Amino acid sequence: MTKTTETGATPADPARRDALRTLAGAGAAAAALPLWARYTHAQSAAPIRVGFQMHATGIGAAYGRWYDRTTQAAARLINETGGINGRPLEIVTEDDGTDPRRGAEVVEKFANQHRVDVAYGTLFSHVVIGSAPRAGELKLPYFVVSEGHHVASGMLNRWTLQPGITDVKSQVLAMAPFVAETLGKKVTMIFPDYAFGHDHRDFFSEAMAAQGGEVIAKIAIPPTETSFTRYFPRIPRETDVIYHVMVGPAVLTFVKEMGEFFGPSRPAIFGFIDSLEAVDLRSPGLEFLEGTYFWEGMPRYVQPGQTDYDRAYRAAIGLDENGASLADPRDVSAYAHMFGCWETLHVIKRGMEAAGYAGPQDRQKLVEAVEVMTEMPESHEHPQGRKLFNGRTHQVFGQQHVSKLENGRLDVVRTVPLEETFYPDEVDYTAQPF
């Protein structure tokens, strides 16, 4: 699939126009100009081309659909407020099938066929790991929205950055104290058997040990699995807490079968919302999860004291207070993750403007401009909350949320500030050559 959109040319509906007025502030005047007038002051009228590596098919398709909607909304806003360096932003989309080999092919296609300025948007960690080396060889800035620890671990290269979403290592550091203090010390982990799941396995085990707890069983499940009943008898009887983080199209089946296995008697349960991302929490069979806890990157349901940033962000994408599409309340978003696309596109914009980016010859300048970023205040560009970017490790840090499922919705019970999610640097990409 190849899709090219100059999203500034699409008229906005009334709700989105209201969001634009809130988001744009002083830039709203630019949005009133016709497209030709907005970009006449630029050195070039050619668009900035961002190659969006989309999981349109495969096990990441639910995420890909919402990453796409968020990307298109952010790009529309950027274009309606003057573009990047006075040039329109164009999103060029290719489906990678959530497949690492195909991902590398997409990166090459972006560089050699589409001639994009940067590549962006990859989520599933095995696809990132399969694609990033080719981006490095092509000297193509590769902005991922993935969560895996592969960037900050030093596994990848200087051309690969994760400035819009936190990584698993910082997330589990934030969650382990809550699990140990509130739910229990003996944990059984259920996780997908690939790099993302292995990050959870390794780093949560370490984090629980630091809290005086222990992971007593680690159950790895292929991410393409469609039935899970045979795995549950492996959960030890002495388990205090089941920790689950599953992905893929069968996540609802996984949770339902876990409920059928335990019935009314179950251990405490702590999950990452990945196990139910883009799933209606009122779906039949999920009743047994009432009273259990989840990690959320950005709360799906509107919380008391909702910020103007969250309100405008929802309106720009077309979401209701439950994180579902305004057009169809059954169409539930991947709200805990997709903000990373919105925020990463704004980081790219900010980096290009700081670097005076004019074309591919300035790609190194762009990477260097992002590397010197630090504070990212909560704002319309960063609606999830305040962040701190570590230019040495190419990884951003931000706040994390513990939410409790009650009455069919998730309510935040603890927000962990970003300062409690730091860990020592494992790499300094700025010391590496381009």
Backbone angles phi, psi at 219, to 5 degrees: -110, 110
Shared-domain flag, residues 158 and 14: yes
Per-residue pLDDT at 45: 81
Shared-domain flag, residues 7 and 135: yes
Shared-domain flag, residues 291 and 320: no
Sequence-distant (6+) residues with CB within 8 A of 335 are: 66, 277, 296, 298, 299, 300, 319, 323
How many domains are contained in the chain? 2
Shared-domain flag, residues 145 and 59: yes
Shared-domain flag, residues 54 and 141: yes
Rounded distance, CA 292 to CA 49, Å?
43
Shared-domain flag, residues 257 and 378: no
Shared-domain flag, residues 213 and 260: yes
Shared-domain flag, residues 257 and 119: no
Shared-domain flag, residues 219 and 234: yes
Shared-domain flag, residues 137 and 190: no
What CATH number did the domain enclosing 363 receive? 3.40.50.2300
With 0.95 as the threshold, say if the pTM is over it.
Answer: no
Shared-domain flag, residues 173 and 68: no
* Domain presence at residue 425: no
Per-residue pLDDT at 8: 41
Reading the block at residue 135, the tokens are 């981006």
Reading the block at residue 370, the tokens are 């992002």
* Domain presence at residue 422: no
pLDDT string in tens for the chain (434-residue length)? 666 665 543 334 555 455 545 554 434 444 444 544 555 455 678 999 999 999 999 999 999 999 999 999 999 999 999 999 999 999 999 999 999 999 999 999 999 999 999 999 999 999 999 999 999 999 999 999 999 999 999 999 999 999 999 999 999 999 999 999 999 999 999 999 999 999 999 999 999 999 999 999 999 999 899 999 999 999 999 999 999 999 988 999 999 999 999 988 899 999 999 999 999 999 998 999 999 999 999 999 999 999 999 999 999 999 999 999 999 999 999 999 999 999 999 999 999 999 999 999 999 999 999 999 999 999 999 999 999 999 999 999 999 999 999 999 999 999 999 999 999 999 999 999 99
Reading the block at residue 357, the tokens are 């980016």
Residues of the domain holding 265: 168-296
